[in-house]
Amino acid sequence: MSYETSLRMGRRSYSPSPPPRGGYGRRRSPSPRGRYGGGGGSRGRDLPTSLLVRNLRRDCRAEDLRRPFGQFGPLKDIYLPRDYYSGEPRGFGFVQFVDPADAAEAKYQMDGQVLQGRQMTVVF
């Protein structure tokens, strides 16, 4: 059957295309700046400045974290995620420091501490 005949009959003939060069699936390209966004330079810039704080009370506010974590150095940001649909807090948060050394010290000192009656877990 010719191509024109197949078009009239509503069928098309397709030849299989080769798979993509990288294969199927989602792949991330490597970042030229490294894992933490540092562009080289001193080793301190390559260290993380953000801490994940788990096991927070649902009514915990950013101010409740600012006092205990702020004693280790200046804070850049505190983020307490909320559920997309209900708007309720999710029970964990992120505390970001300006200096990576302050973040490391806060992680060491605050991991396992009790805040508002709950034992926190602090990880990078």
Instruction: Domain count for the chain, please give it.
Output: 1
Establish if 24 belongs to a structural domain.
no
Over the chain (124 residues), the average pLDDT of each successive run of 10 is 55 61 56 44 69 96 96 97 94 97 96 96 94
- The model carries a pTM of 0.63
Give the CA angle between residues 82, 93, 44 to the nearest 5°: 140
CATH number, domain of 97, equals 3.30.70.330
Whether the Cβ atoms of residue 122 and residue 98 lie closer than 8 Å to each other: no
Establish if 17 belongs to a structural domain.
no
> Which residue range(s) make up the domain with 99?
56-123
Q: What is the pLDDT of residue 47?
A: 82
Establish if 32 belongs to a structural domain.
no
Q: What is the pLDDT of residue 46?
A: 74
Torsion, CA 66, CA 58, CA 88, CA 55, rounded to 10: 80
Establish if 77 belongs to a structural domain.
yes
Establish if 111 belongs to a structural domain.
yes
